[in-house]
Amino acid sequence: MSEFVDAHYVMLLSGRLDKFVKKKADLYNFRCPYCGDSQKHRNKARGYFFRLKADMVYKCHNCGVGRTLPNFLKDQAPDLHDEYIMERYKSGTTGKGSYVPKPKFKKPVFKKQGELTKVSDLNIEHPAYKYIVGRKLDPSLFYFTDQFCTWVNTQKPTFTDIKKDHPRIVIPFIDADKKWFGFQGRSLNPKDKMRYITVMLDENKPKIFGLDNIDETKPIYITEGPFDATFLDNSVAMAGSDVDPRSYNWSDYIWVYDNEPRNREIVNRISKSIDRGEKVVIWPNSIQQKDINDMVMARHDVNSLVESNTYQNIEAQIKFTEWKKV
C-alpha cells in the first residue's frame, strides 16, 4: 500500500523537479534540487528516488545528499509533507519498520471569544466570509474576531472601555520579514461611524499594507485601500495615510488613486504627484466605478486598465485636466 502513496507524491513533485523522468517502476531521475547538479551540463541529472525496503528514498550521485521521502518533502515541498505523513498513516505504513514517522496529533484547541480566525476558516454562511467572498476578495488574506477590542488589547493595550465590543474583519500589515507591525479592523456594520480602526504595533513604521508581497525591483502600484491592493500585481496600499515612496528603495512606483474626480482631496493628491514627476493612473471616462474593488465587481480587467492608463509629466497633466471635475 505504501508504494502507491509514495508514487502518488513523487508524481506530485515531478512538476517541481528539473529534467524529471520515470526510469522504471520505483526509480525516478531528475536534477538535484540541493546542489543544482552540474553547472556545465544542463542536461545532467544525478538525483534519484528509489525504493529501499518499504520506503522511497532520495540520493544524489553528485553532492551525495541522501533523504527519506518525508524529509525530502519537508525540505523541498513543505506544503505536501504533513499531507503525505497522514496518507501513509491512513494506509497503516508509518512507525516501526518504516522511515516514515507516525503523525503527531495535537489536542483540539477550542477558540475563546475574541480570538483571531482566518476568514477562509469560517463557515461559508458567516457574515464576514460572505462579505469578503461577495466582494471577490481572497478570504485567506484576512482574519476575523468576534470581539475586536478584547483581541486588540491582547496585542497592545488600546481600549479602556470594552463594554461595546464588537466583531471586525482584521487586515494585517506585514513586513518583508513576515512580521505583523500593525493592522486595520474593518466593521461589518454599515451604520458604524468608524468603518476602519487602525492599530500600529510598531509606531515607527508607516501604515502600509502589502509589504510582504512585493518585488522591489519591479514597478509597484500604490492604491488607497488594502482591499484594492489585493487585485493588482505587485501592489501596496496606503491604509489611510500618506506614503512617501522616496524613503524606500523602490525602483519604480505608480500611484493608483480612487476614481472620484469630484473629490477635492483626491484631486489635490493626484496634482501633487504629477507635480513631483511621479507616475499616476488617470482613469478613462468610460470607467464609472469609484475604486478597484468596484471595478472588479463590474468585471473589468483592472491590471490591464492600470497598465494602459498610467501617465507621467505633461501627458499626465493633460489627462488629469480632462478627468477632474472640481
pLDDT of residue 326: 58
| φ, ψ (nearest 5 deg) of residue 274 | -65, -40
Q: 232 vs 39, which has greater pLDDT?
A: 232
Place of cell 488574506: 141
Find the mean pLDDT for residues 22-48. 92
Q: How many CA atoms lie within 13 Å of 132's alpha carbon, on the beta-carbon side? A: 27
Higher pLDDT, 290 or 86: 290
Among 12-21, 103-112, 131-140, 193-202, whose mean pLDDT is lowest? 103-112
Is the pTM higher than 0.85? The answer reads: no
Share of the chain above pLDDT 90, in %: 72
The pLDDT assigned to 246 comes to: 80
pLDDT tens by residue, 107-130: 444 444 558 999 999 999 999 999
Q: Categorize the per-residue pLDDT at 278 as very low, low, confident or very high, splitting at 50, 70 and 90.
A: very high
The whole-number average pLDDT for the span 3-17 is: 90
- Condensed to tens digits (0 to 9), the pLDDT of residues 55-111 reads 899 999 999 999 999 999 999 988 888 888 888 888 787 777 676 777 765 544 444
pLDDT of residue 292: 97
Q: What is the mean pLDDT of the chain?
A: 90
The whole-number average pLDDT for the span 228-254 is: 87
Question: Distance from CA of residue 54 to its chain's centroid?
Answer: 38
The C-alpha cell 456594520 sits at: 189
Give the model's pLDDT for residue 105: 58
Q: What's the rounded mean pLDDT across residues 249-266?
A: 93
Mean pLDDT lowest among 95-99, 173-177, 256-260, 275-279: 95-99
Q: Bridge partners of 222?
A: 236, 255
Domains of the chain: 2-90 (3.90.580), 113-205 (3.90.980.10), 206-326 (3.40.1360)
Mean pLDDT of the region 27-32: 96
Of 27-31, 217-221, 237-241, 285-289, give the lowest mean pLDDT range.
Answer: 237-241
Alpha helices by DSSP H, the chain: 2-14, 69-76, 78-90, 127-134, 148-155, 226-229, 264-275, 292-297, 302-308, 313-323
Looking at residue 308, what DSSP letter applies?
A: H
Helices 313-323 and 264-275: crossing angle in degrees, nearest 10, is: 170
Over 70: is that where the pLDDT of 189 sits? yes
